[in-house]
Structure 1
């Protein structure tokens, strides 16, 4: 099928047939999206005549693309079962994520370190955030090297950095999990994930 051939370009090829079946089974609009610094993927429930919609960033490495895809399908499955009654990353979502990840464990799609990071994430009830940092740090080890790119958490305080869209920011203090950064031109404050990739500027 055409969609499976497309999916094979973005995730481990062995995983593509099952993801293709999920797209059909759940009648889901699946979009491979441009890079978004604030998120790896997104799920939208049925609304205003549209069905389930999932988007995943095109530039993730194959393992990160697959984990993000399963993550978003677990949201879809949880919404089908509970609608708005379940918390976004609560126990119902986590159970579905674990169940939907199992076929890829059975196929041994993931290298041992990523598999262990996923297992740790699923076994930790406190890790309710969609961007479990230990998991995504493990996934990032498989990214192709990018010159002059660093994650926000690795920048010294007050560093100036640029996004792919050209906007320039100065790194500020950490608020819980995210970093408070000020856009240089507008002075507006934005919160950045520690693992957001940015280009470092001098001064």
Structure 2
């Protein structure tokens, strides 16, 4: 498969890496509309071909990162068979190697974040504080990360107002003002500070 149709989604200098990785492999790459539940995915199809989908709305460096993540699934399964865990040791090793090989594709300020991430790749982009902070993505809203708010701060999230109550072990307990119900927020949820 040719990688040229992806060029408009990719950072500069990334195409040679994709061409090398794709080679003559039967991988179909589809560009998807934005999905809130995932940035990309990999599937082995019933006819034994392979399909990767990537959200079209991602910034180029994140698009390339997610595509690398999904291609690492393909290479891990090719090398070790389909009985391995999808985000197990074999996938982590493949992903880390691919990230290190293509490190020069990323901007200078993102390279240390990618280096740190490659030491122990996570299954989810959202599990990497460095990556989430770099790309400022969570729910598409502009504003502050929940972890930066002080106790008592009122903020808006998805058109509802909340009050910051307290920090739990990793997350934050907040109260929805309209109902008085308590909700747990992840530290890197993006919210709009109101007071």
- Give the TM bin, normalised by the shorter chain: 0.5 to 0.7
TM (norm. structure 2) is 0.67
Residue of structure 1 in register with 2:98 after alignment: 100
Aligned equivalent of 1:151? 145
Quick check: 1:43–1:52 contact (8 Å CA) kept in 2?
no
CA drift of 1:118 comes to 1.5
2:161 is the alignment partner of 1:162: no
Q: Which of 88, 109, 114 is the matching residue for 2:110?
A: 114
Partner of 2:131: 135
Specify the structure having the higher radius of gyration (Cα).
2
Per-residue deviation at 1:12? 0.5
Change (3 A) 1:121 1:149: same
Deviations 1:35-80 (A, max 9, x none): 52x54x2324335668544333333322222212211221233244
Change (3 A) 1:193 1:155: same
- TM-score, normalised on structure 1? 0.65
For 1:85, the equivalent position in structure 2 comes to: 84
2:9 counterpart SS class: coil
Deviation at 1:194, TM superposition (A): 3.2
Aligned length: 187
Unpaired runs of 5+ residues, structure 1, are none
Deviation at 1:34, TM superposition (A): 0.9
Within a 5 Å distance, the mapping from 1:16-27 to structure 2 comes to 16-19=15-18, 22=22, 25-27=25-27
Q: Distance in 2 between matches of 1:29 and 1:186?
A: 44
SS at match of 1:70: helix
Change (3 A) 1:129 1:43: closer
